[in-house]
Amino acid sequence: MDDIQHIPDLMQAIGAQAKTAAKKLATATTVQKNKALMEAATALRASIPAIMEANTKDIEYGKAKNLSAAMIDRLLLNEDRIEAIAMGLEAIANLPDPVGDIMASWDRPNGLHISRVRVPLGVIGVIYESRPNVTADAGALCLKAGNAVILRGGSESFHSSTRIHGCLVEGLQKAGLPADAIQLVPTRDRAAVGEMLTMTGVIDIIVPRGGRSLVERVQTESRVPVFAHLEGICHVYVDEAADIEKAVAINLNAKMRRTGICGSSETLLVDVKAAAMLPAILEPLFSAGCEIRGDIQVQAADNRVKSATDTDWDTEYLDAILSVKMVDGVDDAITHIAAHSSGHTESIITENTETAEKFLNLVDSAIVMHNASTQFADGGEFGMGAEIGIATGRIHARGPVGLEQLTSFKYQVRGNGQTRP
Amino acid sequence: MDDIQHIPDLMQAIGAQAKTAAKKLATATTVQKNKALMEAATALRASIPAIMEANTKDIEYGKAKNLSAAMIDRLLLNEDRIEAIAMGLEAIANLPDPVGDIMASWDRPNGLHISRVRVPLGVIGVIYESRPNVTADAGALCLKAGNAVILRGGSESFHSSTRIHGCLVEGLQKAGLPADAIQLVPTRDRAAVGEMLTMTGVIDIIVPRGGRSLVERVQTESRVPVFAHLEGICHVYVDEAADIEKAVAINLNAKMRRTGICGSSETLLVDVKAAAMLPAILEPLFSAGCEIRGDIQVQAADNRVKSATDTDWDTEYLDAILSVKMVDGVDDAITHIAAHSSGHTESIITENTETAEKFLNLVDSAIVMHNASTQFADGGEFGMGAEIGIATGRIHARGPVGLEQLTSFKYQVRGNGQTRP
């Protein structure tokens, strides 16, 4: 099937099949959807040798393409990782089904009873790079929320994703659900991505999962609404009234727990009135191998601090590097964040509730925190069970995109003969 | 200012001003926003002669352009209509402010307290035709929800809208809010609309208000998400178990109360097992001057019934015309609706709760009703106070778009020093 079809025709056909499947899925029961996920997990476990064989082909292809060691590692599947994917499917099966939830209901003076009820969003397009596990994770989340999904994986994971997709389809079939509920674009041709981005009226939402260049391309070109974040330039602000122990622990965790995730902090802002806390905050960061790039005042505090340039305040390092700046209180911190944040996650460290509330109200990011690590910016940590990503847009979904964010709603109006005067 | 500027530059400047205003509005108090609306109402009443003078210019321009009598009437302002506009502003001032509402909140096992809080959407673009009252209505709704708005009115209402806009700005200034919170595009050049539709990153949502051709252009061309409905092909289904009195009253009301609104019914589906009710349902429609276009079975029931063609099932008449079809029970009705509805509003008339619930669950329209007139499809009738329109899309807003739908949200996370393990 690879690279032989006329891509627009292929994508039109996939889109039409997805729409048909979405109509059937809208009335699928929770039991059916969960059965599909559990059966897919079983199929995955039974297919470990076949998946690993497919993965070997991808690894060879990736090495021939001179992928970095980090990218090869993302691509690699082994028994443990396949087991983790299967457990991920079971975890999604165990999440509550959002479809049918009554989000709000009220009565009108004329006796009409109005309810806003969750329904599936429709058809979701997921465009991702070479992590084959996304095939299962994204497919399962979309299915659980009652949506049909069109998956377009990275070319390097083509064989692995195809094999994993086969297991998902097996699950769908065993549950009596349409096989087209989860489709994988069966070509490596990049033109398929361009087609997906223009399939308005067919695809309701596009979710890009991958690096900056992928997300940027999708955000720039897509005619379909997109749930995504381009980057996570997250800030921690240490206020004059900060508890020093919290400031030390949270800054170390926000930066160094995992430096490569979007919720890791990239800039530390310190109130000049809290300058005395700076050495205690920086020391464990240095010990953990973090490079510090500071403004002149921060450089003066420790000679290991390198000089920050203007671009540092707008840089997502995704690495053991932190930019540090002194600011004149919470208002100055809020102004800096407004100018440099990517609207993802910011945290204030203070024991002053009034200052904290000001920060929580005035900082316009998807997630604003008080006395907590920015690394909690995650659907699982929020109690949503799982997420398909984090959105920094303002429409429909913002912050972690979990099952609820993958739904729409409709109004049900129950009357007893009412006519409008 | 008219037709003399370089439109892309003009719109860029308006967009930048709107973004700046939106940042200030995000923290405007309810008292300030309400004061702006009340002061604008006062300014409107004080400006009646000036508005009527401006309106006279528009009417002359419209007559010179040979606008239809109906369009001239939409354009016309008189003392009563201006008073109604002022009262509309006061009504919006009296609605609850959605900004700051806690939509949901929960605690995590690690002690983090998470809240989802309503915030303004940002910058809204409203593109409308020649109803000058939309200038005030749309401007006020966007403002109350904390948004900056860019209004682009029809060229025929240019002078009236400019004068009304002046009153809104007066209100903003008296309340200490930025005058750029409500901007009116100061040119009749249609290129301004094209600019608005591509202002991603500046305008968060476009709302078109007007006829089919305007909405179609906006939906086709816009790169910015759109809240709209293209048409309202609304259905009433009379089930075997319908109460005949309800069926008669609701069908008359759904079609004839006002034929020109999007929630008026266009197609009546009658269960073959309820065929005996047909004469009683059709008689008052005939008496009210409604033309009936039916399939062969309906034609057989009454010789005044004209013959429906295939296109009738996909036609929004917005007139005293109703297409009528016999169907084989609720499943057949649902199938017909799935094929022909515009996804706006549909209603089932039945005393059988099970059948009603099936219809309410399986019909995939923004609004589904049981034993009620489709003409209730309206934000005011839903208790939302006012609406900027009805949306048939699935993203963010669906059904009546009121104040809540003109907001976004963010997450506030309150901790006491938590770090992520």
- Within a domain: B299: yes
Does residue A406 share a domain with residue A286?
no
User: Which of A236, A395, A398, A407 has the highest number of chain B CBs within 10 A, making it the mutation to test binding with B?
Assistant: A395
Chain pair A-B, CB pairs under 8 angstroms: 184
Using CA atoms, how far apart are residues A372 and A377, in angstroms rounded to an integer? 10
Do residues A147 and A171 make contact, with C-beta atoms less than 8 angstroms apart? no
Of B108, B253, B369, the CB nearest to A413: B369
Contact B372 A245 (CB under 8 A): no
Give the residue from B277, B329, B272, B279 showing the smallest Cα distance to B301: B279
Distance CA A140, CA A386 (A): 10
Nearest-Cα distance to chain B for A313, in Å, is: 21
Say what the pLDDT of residue B112 is. 98
Whether B68 contacts B85, CB under 8 Å: no
In terms of domains, do B64 and B145 share one?
A: yes
- The answer to whether the Cβ–Cβ distance between A372 and B253 falls below 8 Å is no
Residue A380 falls in which region: left (phi positive, over 0), alpha (psi -120 to 50) or beta: alpha
Identity (one letter) of the amino acid at B152? R
User: What is the least distance, in Å, from the CA of B256 to any CA of chain A?
Assistant: 11
Give phi and psi for B234, each to the nearest 5: -90, 145
A288 occurs within a structural domain:
yes
Contact criterion met (CB < 8 Å) for A245 and B417: yes
Q: Name the nearest CA neighbour of A347 among A256, A246, A258.
A: A246
Name which of A259, A412, A416 to mutate to probe chain B: the one with the most chain B Cβ atoms within 10 A of its Cβ: A412
CA distance A382 to A390: 12
Q: Are residues B40 and B154 in the same domain?
A: yes
Tally of structural domains, chain A: 2
Question: Distance (Å, rounded) from C-alpha A202 to C-alpha A148?
Answer: 11
Inspect the interface and report whether the beta carbons of A417 and B371 lie closer than 8 Å: yes
Q: Is residue B33 part of a domain?
A: yes
Q: What is the pLDDT of residues A177-236, one digit of tens each?
A: 999 999 999 998 989 999 999 999 999 999 999 888 999 999 999 999 999 999 999 999
Are A222 and A252 in a shared domain? no
* Least CB–CB distance from A418: residue in B376, B409, B420: B376
pLDDT (mean) for B87-102: 96
So what's the pLDDT on residue B1?
A: 46
Which residues of chain B have a CB within 8 Å of the CB of A246? 416-417
Nearest CA in chain A to B351: A416
Question: Has residue A393 been placed in a domain?
Answer: no
**DSSP of B182-198, one letter per residue?**
EEE-----THHHHHHHT
Mutate to test the interface with A, among B236, B374, B394, B398 (most CBs of A within 10 A): B394
Q: Which of B27, B121, B408 sits opposite A362 (nearest CB)?
A: B27
Here the tokens at position A59 are: 């690894």
Are the beta carbons of B395 and A26 separated by less than 8 Å? no
From the CA of A171, how many Å to the nearest CA of chain B? 24
Mean pLDDT, residues B322-344: 97
CA distance B13 to chain A (A): 19
Minimal C-alpha gap between A333 and chain B (Å): 16
Nearest Cα to A199, choosing from A165, A181, A226, A171?
A226
Do residues B205 and B288 both lie within one domain?
Answer: no
The three-class DSSP label of residue B139 is helix
Cα distance from A32 to chain B (closest Cα, Å)? 17
Alpha carbons B323 and B333: distance in angstroms, whole number: 14
Question: Would you place residue B130 in the very low, low, confident or very high pLDDT band (cuts 50, 70, 90)?
Answer: confident
A310 and A408 belong to one structural domain: no
Residue B70 has a pLDDT of: 85
For position A4, what pLDDT does the model report?
57
What average pLDDT does range B365-383 have in this prediction? 96
Which chain B residues contact residue A204 at CB under 8 A? 394-395
- Looking at the fold, whether B247 and B209 belong to one and the same domain comes out as no
**A245: nearest Cα among B414, B416, B113, B108:** B416
Do A121 and A223 have their domain in common? yes
| Residues paired with residue A265 on neighbouring β-strands, in sequence order | A234
How far is residue A391's CA from residue A398's CA, in Å, rounded to a whole number?
5
B27, B66: one domain: yes
Q: CA-to-CA distance for B231 and A293, rounded, in angstroms? A: 57
On whether residue A320 sits in a domain, the answer given is: yes
B282-301 burial code (b ≥16 CB/10 A, e <16): bebbeeeebebbbbeebbeb
Q: How confident is the model at residue A70 (pLDDT cuts 50, 70, 90)?
A: confident
Same domain for B106 and B246, yes or no, is no
Nearest residue on chain A to B104, alpha-carbon basis? A103
- Cβ neighbours of B226 (radius 10 Å): 22
Average pLDDT in chain B: 95
Q: Using 50, 70 and 90 to split pLDDT, how confident is the model at B4?
A: low
Interchain proximity B225–A362, CB inside 8 Å: no
Nearest chain B alpha carbon to A110: B381
Task: Measure A417 CA to nearest chain B CA, in Å.
Answer: 5
Say yes or no for a CB contact (<8 Å) between A399 and B410: yes
Please report, rounded to a whole number, the percentage of residues in chain B having pLDDT higher than 90.
Answer: 92
User: Chain A: nearest CA to B48, how far in angstroms?
Assistant: 31
**Over the stretch A13-60, which tens digit does the pLDDT of each residue have?**
999 999 999 999 998 999 999 999 999 999 999 999 999 999 999 999
Model confidence pLDDT, tens digit, residues A159-185 = 999 999 999 999 999 999 999 999 999
Residue A386 lies in a domain: no
Residue closest to B324 by CA, chosen among B232, B210, B235, B419: B235
How are beta strands A123-128 and A148-152 bridged, if at all? parallel
pLDDT at A1: 46
How high is the mean pLDDT of chain A?
95
Residue B418 lies in a domain: no
- CATH number, domain containing residue A323: 3.40.309.10
Helices (H) and strands (E) in chain B, counts: 14, 16
Q: Give the confidence band of A293 by pLDDT, cuts at 50, 70, 90.
A: very high
B26: chain A residues, CB-CB within 8 Å? 364
Share of chain B above pLDDT 70, in %: 99
Asked whether the beta carbons of residue B408 and residue A399 sit closer than 8 angstroms, the reply is: no
Query: Per the domain annotation, does B79 fall within a domain?
Result: yes
CA distance to A215, A343, B322, per residue, from A265 (Å): 20, 12, 62
On chain B, the residues whose CB falls within 8 A of the CB of A383 are 106, 108, 114
List C-alpha distances in Å: B331 to B233, B296, B327, B337: 19, 20, 9, 10
Report the share of chain A in percent with pLDDT over 70.
99
pLDDT digits (tens, 9 = 90+) for A94-137: 999 999 999 999 999 999 999 999 999 999 999 998 789 999 99
Q: Classify burial at B244, counting beta carbons within 10 Å of its beta carbon; exposed 0-12, middle 13-18, buried 19 or more.
A: middle
How far apart (Å, rounded) are the C-alpha atoms in residues A302 and A330?
A: 24
Which of A194, A195, A202 lies closest to A122, judged by CA? Answer: A202
B119 to chain A: nearest residue by CA? A364
> Which pLDDT score, from 0 to 100, does residue A29 have?
96
Same domain for B218 and B288, yes or no, is no
Give the nearest chain B residue to A366 (CA atoms): B410
Cα torsion for B231, B237, B243, B249, to the nearest 10°?
A: 30
Closest partner residue to A204 (CB to CB) among B367, B395, B415 is B395
Contact B415 A369 (CB under 8 A): yes
Contacts of A97 (CB under 8 A, 6+ apart): A30, A33, A144, A403
What residues of chain A lie within 8 A of the CB of B243, using their CB? 417
Query: Which tokens is A328 given?
Result: 């004149």
| Count of residues making up chain A | 421
Same domain, B126 and B145: yes
Indicate the pairing of strand A123-128 with strand A205-209.
Answer: parallel
What is the domain range of residue A119? 7-227+400-412
Query: Is B396 in contact with A396 (Cβ distance < 8 A)?
Result: yes
B399-401/B389-391 β-pairing: antiparallel
CA distance, residue B421 to nearest chain A CA (Å): 8
Query: For residue A302, what is the enclosing H or E element?
Result: none
Instruction: Please indicate whether, in this complex, the C-beta atoms of B412 and A23 are within 8 angstroms of each other.
Output: no
Do A413 and B338 make contact, defined as CB atoms within 8 angstroms? Answer: no
Contacts of A122 in chain B (CB under 8 A): 394
- Alpha-carbon gap: A304 to the closest alpha carbon of chain B (Å): 26
What is the H or E stretch that residue A396 is in?
none
